[in-house]
Structure 1
């Protein structure tokens, strides 16, 4: 071993010379081996550490870029859904305008039809009166002719008796009356024919109008289905009972969204027509849509952060960022720079605005349906207790107050005092808005 070491690591001397003296340092083979091994280890450690740092930096950069791309894609999808929702709302309003116009036209056509039927009834009555008068006149004429023939019959001596003056006058009056009656009859028949023709034309117009109304009804029904079903699906996806929800809004919300008056085209207590029933069904769907819209404003479906952020921690069991232990997390963390604006997720009343242990600066908002939202670790509070806020209203800024490792928003939703996953509401609203 010594021969091997002396061959590859011969003893070396390092001379240190000064003006008055010369000294040297002896480097034995073992010392050289230890120095070489130490240098190799230092260089290897440096290379490995540098490679790990570079790989971690590249990986984190790719993760941030992917998160930014996913967030941008989500925003574009959200904007597209909002535009589609506005388009559907405009189509529903336009369909409602067309529906109201069609109802007005139907009312006018029905009024004209009723007037035409009344006129036809009057004409038929007049024709009956004229015909009875004509028959009576014809009977009187026949009687007068019989008397006239008897008067004009030759007497026993073979000579005709002269007609009295009153008989000649009566005959002339009857003849004139018959002529006038015949003319009135002809005029009445012509009027009746015109009335029948108008009635047929009116019936054709009504049939055409019914076809148009059926098309309008179909469009309205489809628009209502397209508008109501996504909202119903959104509430059900958030775990809310839509039947109870709508009943509660209908009972408690009196300022807006009251019940619509059903349509009735008859005041005689008659059975409603199919068009009336369809119109009333559409009005009920419109009322339901309005109630859904009110409920959507009162439930926390809006995002509390509108700017760029990332989800840094989800709802449920997690490893505590400070102690490392397993703990329950009752909200969703959204990380962004200090001062990022925060907004109310729904209409409600502020029940707490101040410092709370662990939460830091905390805002609690009470909403309808037994829902409460919490916004923790804020740097600035923009609301006070008792203040009523609207959906999308700014309530403060994001910060790092309380028990945190960095600036973020701790967002909680509680229903009946029990915490629920905020992502249920966020994902449900993502498919609609």
Structure 2
């Protein structure tokens, strides 16, 4: 086999890679036996493997030697460390036991004080229940102060109902905590038992609150239903007028943050408040809309009616005819006032009505004022209840100075007396 050698020219190679390549260059070992010469070629990777195996073996021999020579010392060191750790652990356990014993002794010493505090909170809770019961009775019976400090029951209020299980500050139904828990507490469960009893009392209070809110909601719903019936008697759709209402509470505002169970204490109370809010909103809306209906008279009380609503003998043809309004007699020039807020949709001459003003109110209700001598408003003008819109005259189909007054719902003539009677009912319901 031919052996090729790389000559360096007598110079040692530079650079780490070049030095490693030079150190582990290919070598040959020659063997001569019985006149024959043979050689073994050691390639670089074989040299590296041999050196690595030798190094690993050397380290293993050193480690085994140290382990055998110092085995007793290593075991003794481990035992000392374990003993020291056990002592530290026992010291910590002892400190914790001492702290627990101190807390237990302090709890036993302060048990009466603790129970006395529980009774104080319990007493305040009973006073709150007592006030809640008074408020419940006040609402359920509808008591209002009379002229001489007495009380009277308002018509339409809820019927009185007794609230079961009421506990007042002066008459508790269970013994005090200091009398009930006379023996020393020996476990955490016994120590928290008075608080568990107090939480049970609070839960009873929550039930009473939910019941009262439910009664209020039922009462408001009943009153709202009564309002709806009066609206229907006038031919006005209560649902429609509520949806189209422009009612907004005065001087209130702020971002909307829905009431949650966390704010009110429980989901039951949150739902009860939500239901009550819905009923109150409808109630306030319908109550507000009563002020938008023509419930007043267009002239002062001294002006009497000369012709009622309904069938009558026509003053010109002397035959039965339908009179679609009410006539108020009065001298020419007497002021005429609008009976509800609204918008003027006609102001001028209108056939047999003569000079007429027509005002549109909420809910499809309109009012007409005919035979005027002077019109004081113009078409498109917004008017408030009580504004003067003209003066009495005798224009159009008229036999003398008077005011012809009409109320219409959806274009159909309705007797104005029905609105005046409804005013008294509205006032009685919303009082």
What is the TM-score with the length of structure 2 in the denominator?
Answer: 0.50
Are 1:375 and 2:369 an aligned pair? yes
**Corresponding residue to 1:187 among 103, 119, 129:** 103
Structure 1 counterpart of 2:197: 200
Among 306, 313, 324, the residue aligned to 1:312: 306
Partner deviation per Cα, 1:206-245 (whole Å, 9 max, x = no partner): 43354245335524542x2464233212201102232333
Q: Quick check: 1:214 aligned with 2:191?
A: no
- 1:401 and 1:300 map into 2 onto residues whose CA distance is 24
CA–CA separation in structure 2 for the residues paired with 1:225 and 1:305? 36
The question of 1:405 aligning with 2:399 is answered yes
Deviation at 1:420, TM superposition (A): 3.1
> Are the aligned partners of 1:262 and 1:283 in contact in 2 as well (CA < 8 Å)?
no
Aligned twin of 1:235:
231
Task: Return the match for 1:396 from 390, 395, 398.
Answer: 390
2:320 corresponds in structure 1 to 326
Higher relative contact order (CA 8 A, sep 6+): 1
Higher helix share: 1
Contact 1:308 1:336 survives alignment (8 Å): no
State the distance in 1 between where 2:398 and 2:359 align. Answer: 22
Q: Contact conserved, 2:374 with 2:393, CA < 8 A, in 1?
A: yes
User: How do residues 137-216 of structure 1 correspond to structure 2 at under 5 angstroms?
Assistant: 174=90, 177-178=93-94, 180-184=96-100, 187=103, 190=107, 192=188, 195-212=192-209, 214-215=211-212
Distance 1:332 1:322 in 2: 17
Say which SS state the counterpart of residue 419 (structure 1) adopts: strand
Determine helix, strand or coil for the equivalent of 1:328.
strand
**Do the aligned residues in 1 keep the contact of 2:241 with 2:362 (CA within 8 Å)?**
no
Closer/same/farther in 2, CA of residues 196 and 346 from structure 1, 3 Å limit: same
Matched residues, number: 261
Separation (CA, whole Å) in 2 of partners of 1:262 and 1:303:
44
Q: How does 1:19-418 map to 2 (within 5 A)?
A: 174=90, 177-178=93-94, 180-184=96-100, 187=103, 190=107, 192=188, 195-212=192-209, 214-215=211-212, 217-219=214-216, 221-222=218-219, 224-225=220-221, 227-249=223-245, 253=246, 263-266=259-262, 273-418=267-412
- In structure 2, relative to structure 1, the CA distance for the partners of 1:416 and 1:217 (3 Å cut) is closer
Displacement after TM superposition at 1:289 (Å): 1.4
Q: Is the 8 A contact 1:307 1:340 kept in 2?
A: no
Q: Would you say the 8 A contact 2:293–2:365 is kept in 1?
A: yes
Q: CA deviation at 1:379?
A: 3.6
Distance, in Å, in 1 between the alignment partners of 2:326 and 2:372 is 14
Mapped partners of 1:188, 1:182: distance in 2: 10
Map of 1:424 onto structure 2: 418
**1:384-410: per-residue Cα shift (whole Å, max 9, x none)?**
221011233332333444333343321
> Aligned in 2, Cα 1:180/1:352: closer, same or farther, shift over 3 Å?
closer
Q: Is the 8 A contact 1:351 1:386 kept in 2?
A: yes
Match of 1:107 in 2: none
Could you say what the CA RMSD is over the residues aligned between the two structures, in angstroms? 4.0
Counterpart-to-counterpart distance in 2, 1:169 and 1:312: 114
Unaligned runs of 5+ in 2: 1-79, 108-113, 115-187
Query: Gaps (5+ residues) in structure 1?
Result: 1-163
TM-score (norm 1): 0.50
Higher mean displacement: 273-282 or 212-221: 212-221
Counterparts in 2 of 1:211 and 1:424: CA distance versus 1, 3 Å: same
Counterpart CA distance in 1 for 2:91 and 2:258 is 61
